[in-house]
Amino acid sequence: MKHKTLSPLVAAAAVALPGAAFACGGLFCNNSQPVVQQAENILFVVDGETTHMHVRITYGGPPQEFGWLLPVPRGVETAVSTEQVFQVLGQFAPNFQLTYERTVQCEEEAYPSAAEGDFNADAGAGGNDGRGVQVISREPVGPYDRAILDARSVDDLRLWLDQNGYQIPEQVDATLRPYVDSGAAVFVAIKLLPGEDTGDLVPLHLSFPGNAPTIPIVPTAVATQADLGIVAQVLGDARAIPLNYRHVQINEAAIDWMSGGSNYFDVVAQASDEAGGRAFTTDFAGPHGLGQGQGPLTLVNPDLIDRIAEARTVEDFSPLSCELDIFDADVSRILRSVFQPPEGEAQTFLDCLGGVGNAPGSAIDGAAIAERFRVEINTPRTAINEHFAAKPYLTRLFTTMSAEEMTEDPSFAVNPDAAAVDNVHRATATVYQCTPEGWYDYSNIRIVTESGLAFDVTNGEQPNAIRRQDGQTVRQGAEPAAAVIEQYLTSGDPTTDLDNVPEIQDRNDPNKLDAVGGGGDDDGCGCSAGGHGSPVGIGAGLFLLALGAGLRRRRR
């Protein structure tokens, strides 16, 4: 078995309002230095008067330190979730597909882009500790030491966390006090159990009374980076909408189509700023098609689990491990927590436990390993598969926020009248032949989107593609990031606050653009001979496909 050391980290809290369901929280590594939270990825499922929330915990900071605190309604229950649900949901991320076509004067052939825009202790219970914090329960949950706390004041909460190895920066108090004073919330506090490290982080599942999914973002302002990415996914019967935040439709003319939409993150960040800093866009809304059969999440074979339970040594377990999917993040996490890898072989050793650092005769507890596969993999995946079967509609909402914009907790509701949204965006790039020998100019092309917007890439640059750095726009032409800024209610069409569509369509009207490739010697095919061309053939096609496959949206 491996042994690890851990220095506990504290997490600052988020705040609850009556009847709401909450996610998120703040992360801190000591009483002055916040750990930068990199992203929020949340799945909400409302089942009657109960909300299920699966939270992928992602942060940047010291790998030896971790802790988290978040407010939830009373009656909360906790369990481990599964990384696989976030991998499955990744297919609904924005996808920008650019198809290349040659001019009619030349041999016609298309080169589709393969780019994808995508951008996972001591147990004690009951009683009052005598200092204004009631420990409702405390027990191991997967790799976590999980406590549920009822605090009478922020000072009491701070004292309990300090006594139990947590530290909270003083500036957090102001963000916690309104939530504690409301009396509507209890706090879920987690840190890693001794012997675990941050490589063992697993998504957390919380369920509690309430039917209004809400992300308590305000305390996150203490420990966030500029333009924190937030993905909120909602399973339901119809499209989910931001209830107290604006909604933005993205201007496709600001997307960098040549890189497969790698600047989508930046465009959304800019569009949110144009809407006052608090707005979501909808990446996808529609039937997810994942509820057929046994569901999208795979289970570890129950028969294999039964056989694993009989293993008593590494030698007994090794042939059984060959039947496990070592590329399954949850399976890999459990195996790595049990078996010692050789130096420098943290992943490859899992393949049938080849070269495992434990001697073949070393004793293992097969029953305990089997129980972890049941409880930490099959149980949550079975429940999530049931949610996919019962809730046919998925909405994926996305935004970015910086600290100064985190002044109100976003909540979500269902609008049955809201239209579906496709996550696939398509455009065509016209490539012009430059020489009779078959060279094509890929640096000067015209892109036309399915919606009819047309714009040029000149010398390899798309001037109006929006980029951001450290929360600020660093390159922008005339294009706004938001095509439409609007406000949704729980029924009917949204009200429009700003409509940039007529201006965008007029500026990107294909009938108003000059001919592409003008200037220089022309061979009659519409572009400058001797320009930045590429020879046509297998090599060019493979280059385009490889370029597309390697592109991913940038995350901050």
* pLDDT, position 348: 59
Domain residues for the domain of 142 are: 1-81+121-225
Indicate whether 248 belongs to any domain: no
Indicate if the pLDDT at residue 395 is higher than 70.
yes
As beta bridge partners, residue 282 has 397
Indicate whether 348 belongs to any domain: yes
Same domain, 111 and 147: no
Counted residue by residue, the chain has a size of 556
Same domain, 330 and 468: no
Indicate if the pLDDT at residue 512 is higher than 90.
no
Out of 191, 225, 259, pick the residue that ends a domain.
Answer: 225
Give one DSSP letter per residue of 5-55, joined into a string: -----B-------TTEEE---B-BSSSS-BPPEEEEEEEEEEETTEEEEEE
* Total number of domains in the chain: 3
Same domain, 353 and 463: no
* pLDDT, position 439: 66
* pLDDT, position 337: 83
Q: pLDDT (tens digit, 9 = 90+) per residue, 522-550?
A: 444 444 433 434 333 322 222 222 223 33
209-223, 287-301, 521-535, range with greatest mean pLDDT: 287-301
- The secondary structure element, H or E, covering residue 372 is helix 366-373
Q: What is the DSSP letter of 107?
A: -
Average pLDDT, stretch 153-157? 88
Same domain, 44 and 166: yes
Average pLDDT, stretch 6-17? 29
Say if CB 228 and CB 39 are below 8 A apart. yes
Say if CB 451 and CB 252 are below 8 A apart. yes
Indicate if the pLDDT at residue 119 is higher than 50.
no
Same domain, 112 and 128: no
Q: Residue 60 — very low, low, confident or very high, per pLDDT cuts 50/70/90?
A: low
177-186, 354-363, 445-454: least confident range: 354-363
182-196, 259-273, 442-456: least confident range: 182-196
Task: List the structure tokens of 473.
Answer: 């726009």
CA 507 to mean position of chain CA atoms: 34
Q: pLDDT (tens digit, 9 = 90+) per residue, 200-212?
A: 788 999 998 989 8
Same domain, 97 and 214: no
Share of the chain above pLDDT 70, in %: 72
Amino acid at 408: E
Out of 163, 193, 225, pick the residue that ends a domain.
Answer: 225
Indicate if the pLDDT at residue 15 is higher than 80.
no
* pLDDT, position 234: 98
* pLDDT, position 178: 77
* Cα–Cα distance measured from residue 117 to residue 394, given in angstroms and rounded to the nearest whole number: 18
- Neighbouring C-beta atoms of residue 383, cutoff 10 Å: 19
Specify the higher pLDDT residue, 160 or 348.
160
Q: How many CA atoms lie within 13 A of 376 on its CB side?
A: 25
* Cα–Cα distance measured from residue 286 to residue 270, given in angstroms and rounded to the nearest whole number: 26
116-130, 137-151, 481-495: least confident range: 116-130
229-238, 344-353, 413-422: least confident range: 344-353
Map residue 150 onto helix, strand or coil.
Answer: strand
* Of the candidates 478, 425, 420, the residue with the CA atom closest to the CA atom of residue 264: 425
Indicate if the pLDDT at residue 433 is higher than 80.
no
* pLDDT, position 535: 35
Task: List the structure tokens of 374.
Answer: 């049941």
Q: Which residues of 541-556 are buried (b: 16+ CB within 10 A; e: fewer)?
A: eeebeebbeebbbeeb
As beta bridge partners, residue 42 has 55, 232
* pLDDT, position 255: 95
Indicate whether 126 belongs to any domain: yes
Indicate if the pLDDT at residue 42 is higher than 60.
yes
Looking only at the bridges linking them, the beta strands covering 424-433 and 95-102 are parallel
34-48, 315-329, 480-494, 520-534: least confident range: 520-534
Q: What is the pTM of this model?
A: 0.80
Indicate whether 427 belongs to any domain: yes
Indicate whether 187 belongs to any domain: yes
Same domain, 369 and 426: no
130-139, 421-430, 522-531: least confident range: 522-531
Indicate if the pLDDT at residue 278 is higher than 90.
yes
Indicate if the pLDDT at residue 31 is higher than 70.
no
Indicate whether 288 belongs to any domain: no
Same domain, 312 and 425: no
Same domain, 99 and 131: no
Map residue 470 onto helix, strand or coil.
Answer: coil
Out of 225, 260, 285, pick the residue that ends a domain.
Answer: 225
Indicate if the pLDDT at residue 501 is higher than 70.
yes
Task: List the structure tokens of 206.
Answer: 């919380």
Same domain, 171 and 155: yes
Same domain, 40 and 96: no
* pLDDT, position 295: 87
Indicate whether 249 belongs to any domain: no
Indicate whether 240 belongs to any domain: no
Task: List the structure tokens of 461.
Answer: 């640059």
Same domain, 23 and 55: yes
* Cα–Cα distance measured from residue 406 to residue 401, given in angstroms and rounded to the nearest whole number: 7
